[in-house]
Structure 1
Amino acid sequence: MKTSRRRFVQHAAGLIFGGTIVHNFTTRLGAVSLNQVLVQRAFYSMGTVVTISAYGPSSEMLHHAISKAYADLQQMDERLSLFKSESDVSAINRTAGKNLVIVDSTVLDILEKAKEFHNKTNGAFNICIEPLMRVWGFRGETRKLKHIPEDKEIDRALNASSIAYLTLDKAANRVGLENKFSAIDLGGIAVGYAVDRMVSILRSEGVENALINHSGDIFAMGAPPDQQGWIISLPNPNDSSEIMASFLVKDQAVSTSGNYESFVEFEDERFGHILNSKTGKPSDGLLSYTVMASSAIDADAYSTGFFSSGQLSDGVASIAVRRDSRIEHHGEITFL
């Protein structure tokens, strides 16, 4: 659905998902205890790999629940994708400056939440930043820039990126953009929204202990058998073989944002894809920013927004890695 800010590779200690390592308990547990069976499935959706590891009384029950969650994820991708021409997001962008379009109620819901996060982060989180993404070459066929955008190009895109142009007609389920040069991209919030929906579906199907990993947007439901939670580790953004911190999560979401995996290049210089919504330029104050929250949408939006601004918040549990590799953390985190 979006250009991923996260990666998916095998790791000796577990799985690396865009700045986080989820440790594989099955290598230590062997036969699952407490009459619990383990089902692990992987899917491709929203432009990346999604994995679900779930414990329960029977594999049939778990497969059924996971299939329902995956079906909903695919439906969300069809509605929220920036790159699928039939999505509601594409319809909104096509009609920018013209008229409002009718959208699914879930799309209106996520847009309302996006506006709330914009206010909560003092404008740092901004789904209307798509014009700037285009100016910086993130929507082209190549990631090699012919030139660094000039200030006048950035200023024009900044103006079109104002969330004030986004109009929501809740009574009629209609959405529009008043400026014809405006466009939205839900990449910084859609995955978290979709993960929360999958959590809700799994719980409604009786699954209590599971881990959803949408290429770095994680939700840890309960814990594996005989464990107090799921172990998450943060590798060094400059050297994934080095672990910078490990912590335990239970019934929490985790999301990591960083500019070291997705970027454009001009000559020998790299520019990351998370842009500062105030300056219109790539954010460069942090290497990575990890947020733990009660919901995946909160973790997703806050990690993106606060990484974008470079201004850390004491109001969320977080781990920031500075450019000099110094680590700062806030809130209650169970470090190991």
Structure 2
Amino acid sequence: MKKNNLSSTKTVLILLFLFFLSVNIFAQQKVTVERQTILMGSQFQITIVAEDSLKANHYIDMTIDEIARIEELISEWRPHTQISQVNAYAGIKPIQVDSEVFDLTKRAIAYSMMSDGAFDISTAAMDRIWKFDGSMDTLPSAQAIKNSIAHVDYRNIILDSTNSTIFLKNKGMKIGFGSIGKGYAADRGRELLLKHHVEGGIVNASGDLSTWGTQPNKKPWLIGIRNPFKRNKVIKVLKLKYEAVATSGSYEKYAEINDIRYSHIINPKTGYPVTGLTSVTIYGPSAEFANALSTSIMVLGAQEGRKLVRKYPSYKYLFITDNGTVIK
């Protein structure tokens, strides 16, 4: 009887060994596939960990379809989208939209309230009097700057939750999701893939990115934060699993007039380019919210920006000032 038990134990141990061996071999066979594509007018890079490249590419196709679907809802540049219809009927009548569009707009207004108007999706109506293509050599007049923000005010976006409508109170108003749309798409792409049990990956929307899981070697994803003053230097390397990162910066697009550099990020209250911070990186659970924070803080500045982000303990920050000082 003891001999049989011993034989049985050996059999179990062998089976367990074979099981763990097969799991280890299976894990080693995982592949990482990356693909770049243009969506929402920006470069997206989608990285997937899967059993083989065929499955990985299938999941990438799914993600691209999801982001394209979102773009068809919220793009203000395509005349047939729901947001374009909202803009076309500004000051005329409310437009009924899908619950997804309504909820995104509702969150955007909450971000405006959170930041006291530093974040505002109605900046889509701002007159483009500042040029950041190297052609601008004189400042706009004070009156032109004042006029440029005449139709900007999130408080004039009227939501009706009963009928799921958006109404822009004044003619000439527009809303757009250039500030948080890509972060939202990255988050949605991640959630879609998690529902399909994809164990790891990154949806990177030109720097606004969402990560989950790990690399095939079980190590976290490594995301470098670049020094805008030294392009080949990395200030910090983030080790991420289920997290997101967003960076807002003034170092790639700007106008230089009389030896003064003017950022392409405009304060929606004043119409003037922001000063003080060259870049703001926020990382935490959601790319959408991280982007709302980073955009707000570029306008608010370092002191008020730190007060804001510290209200949300699950989000961390790294600021770089115009003189190169790192605040973290």
TM-score range, shorter chain: 0.7 to 0.9
Q: Does 1:323 align with 2:322?
A: yes
Q: Which residue of 1 aligns with 2:30?
A: 36
Q: Does 1:97 align with 2:125?
A: no
Structure 1 position 173, deviation (Å): 2.3
The separation in 2 between residues aligned to 1:227 and 1:295, in whole angstroms, is 22
Partners of 2:137 and 2:256 within 8 A in 1: no
Q: Percent identity?
A: 29
Q: Greater helix share, 1 or 2?
A: 2
SS of 1:135 mapped into structure 2: coil
The separation in 2 between residues aligned to 1:300 and 1:328, in whole angstroms, is 18
CA distance 1:204–1:113, shift in 2 (3 Å): same
2:124 is aligned, of 130, 141, 144, to: 130
Structure 1 position 32, deviation (Å): 9.9
CA distance 1:143–1:98, shift in 2 (3 Å): farther
The separation in 2 between residues aligned to 1:280 and 1:75, in whole angstroms, is 33
Q: Greater strand share, 1 or 2?
A: 1
Structure 1 position 210, deviation (Å): 0.5
Q: Does 1:259 align with 2:250?
A: yes
2:103 is aligned, of 106, 109, 113, to: 109
Letter in 2 for 1:317: K
SS of 1:275 mapped into structure 2: coil
Structure 1 position 112, deviation (Å): 0.6
Structure 1 position 294, deviation (Å): 0.5
**For structure 1, which runs of at least 5 residues remain unmatched after alignment?**
1-30, 330-336
Q: Which residue of 2 aligns with 1:239?
A: 230
Structure 1 position 282, deviation (Å): 0.9
- Listed one character per residue, the Cα deviations across residues 78-124 of structure 1 (whole Å, up to 9, x for unaligned) are 22122222222222222222112222322111101101111222221
Q: Which residue of 1 aligns with 2:158?
A: 167
The separation in 2 between residues aligned to 1:323 and 1:280, in whole angstroms, is 19
Q: Which residue of 1 aligns with 2:78?
A: 84
Q: Which residue of 1 aligns with 2:141?
A: 150
Structure 1 position 175, deviation (Å): 1.3
> Where do 4+ consecutive residues of structure 1 move more than 6 Å?
none
Q: Which residue of 2 aligns with 1:177?
A: 168
The separation in 2 between residues aligned to 1:296 and 1:154, in whole angstroms, is 31
The separation in 2 between residues aligned to 1:301 and 1:85, in whole angstroms, is 25
How many residues matched? Answer: 296
SS of 1:232 mapped into structure 2: strand
The separation in 1 between residues aligned to 2:129 and 2:170, in whole angstroms, is 17
**For structure 2, which runs of at least 5 residues remain unmatched after alignment?**
1-24
Bigger mean CA deviation after superposition, 266-275 or 279-288: 266-275
Partners of 2:127 and 2:149 within 8 A in 1: no
Q: Does 1:303 align with 2:294?
A: yes
Letter in 1 for 2:115: T
Structure 1 position 264, deviation (Å): 4.5
Larger RCO: 1 or 2 (CA < 8 Å, sep 6+): 1
The separation in 2 between residues aligned to 1:173 and 1:57, in whole angstroms, is 42
Partners of 2:200 and 2:214 within 8 A in 1: yes
Rg: which structure is higher?
2
TM-score (norm 1): 0.81
Bigger mean CA deviation after superposition, 160-169 or 57-66: 57-66
The separation in 2 between residues aligned to 1:264 and 1:85, in whole angstroms, is 30
CA distance 1:328–1:268, shift in 2 (3 Å): closer
TM-align CA RMSD: 2.2
CA distance 1:97–1:137, shift in 2 (3 Å): farther
The separation in 1 between residues aligned to 2:29 and 2:202, in whole angstroms, is 18
